[in-house]
A = this chain, B = another copy of it.
Amino acid sequence: MTTLAGPDEGAHCCPDHDGGLLDGDEAVALADVFKALADPTRVRLLRYLADSAGGTVCACHLPDALGISQPTLSFHMRKLHDAGLVERAQRGRWAHWSVNPTAIEPVRSFLGLAPAPAAPRC
């Protein structure tokens, strides 16, 4: 790997870094989930679902609970659903929402940020 440092600058620099780079598709997938979480209302919605009895909440409770309108709720739930962070089950008239832990695990694991086992070190 070449660096931008010339011989003089190299004296102030660390050894070259030959560690592996996260796969591009994986980085895009992680960023997409983080993007879905990059809103305070969606953060609160996810926490609210997770705190609910049985991990499921009827959509009828959510506008009052969060202090938002039904269209605003629909907008944010669509973002969470598109990212796979929540699951929807229809029961009679109402949708019931729950957190999907399978979608959360990769970002949680990423944030552990322990060195990747196979990554070579400089």
Question: Could you list which residues of chain A lie within 8 angstroms of chain B, going by C-beta atoms?
Answer: 1-5, 9, 11-17, 19-22, 24, 27-28, 30-31, 34-35, 37-44, 46-48, 50-54, 56-58, 60-61, 63-66, 70, 91-94, 96, 99, 101, 104, 107-108, 110-116, 119, 121-122
Contacts and interface: CB of A to CB of B under 8 A. Distances in A.
Contacts of A14: 53-54, 56-58, 61, 96
Nearest to A19: B51
Copies in the complex: 2
Contacts of A54: 14
A116 B51 CA distance: 6
Given A50-B114, A61-B16, A37 B34 contact: yes
A70 B4 contact: yes
A42 B110 CA distance: 12
Contacts of A34: 34-35, 37-38, 43
A33 to B, nearest CB: 9
A3 to B, nearest CB: 5
